[in-house]
Amino acid sequence: MKTRYFFKSISLLLMLALVSPAVSATPAATTPSEADAARATVLQNRLEEIKAMDMDDLSRTEKKALRKEVRAIKKEMADISGGVYLSVGAIILIVLLVILLA
């Protein structure tokens, strides 16, 4: 029985040694500055203005331009907000830990 735990612990240490450099090389998450927060507020207000517009009075080209603008605004807001991303190494590590500890 003890050899089983010994091999499990050795394999866990090897996996941690292989995965940890990839995880530690990721850049630190940046917090949004006040300028980014102000820009996000402006973009959110513009989205609300577009949503409140009466689309029946607009021509087809105007509607198309508004759709492009909404897509661009949403993309910019996603860039400003950032997000939480998991690397492939982190996902593999989590899966292996769950398998080993289960």
Q: Report the SS3 class of residue 13.
A: helix
Radius of gyration of the chain (CA): 24
Contact 16, 94 (CB under 8 A): no
Stretch 12-37: mean pLDDT: 65
How many other C-beta atoms are found inside a 10 Å radius of the C-beta of residue 61? 8
| pTM of the model as a whole | 0.50
**What is the C-alpha separation between 27 and 67, in angstroms, rounded?**
34
pLDDT tens for each residue of 33-81: 788 888 989 999 999 999 999 989 999 999 999 999 999 999 998 888 7
**What is the C-alpha separation between 73 and 46, in angstroms, rounded?**
9
- Concatenated DSSP letters for 28-96? PPPPP-HHHHHHHHHHHHHHHHHHHS-GGGS-HHHHHHHHHHHHHHHHHHHHHH------HHHHHHHHH
Q: What is the pLDDT of residue 45?
A: 94
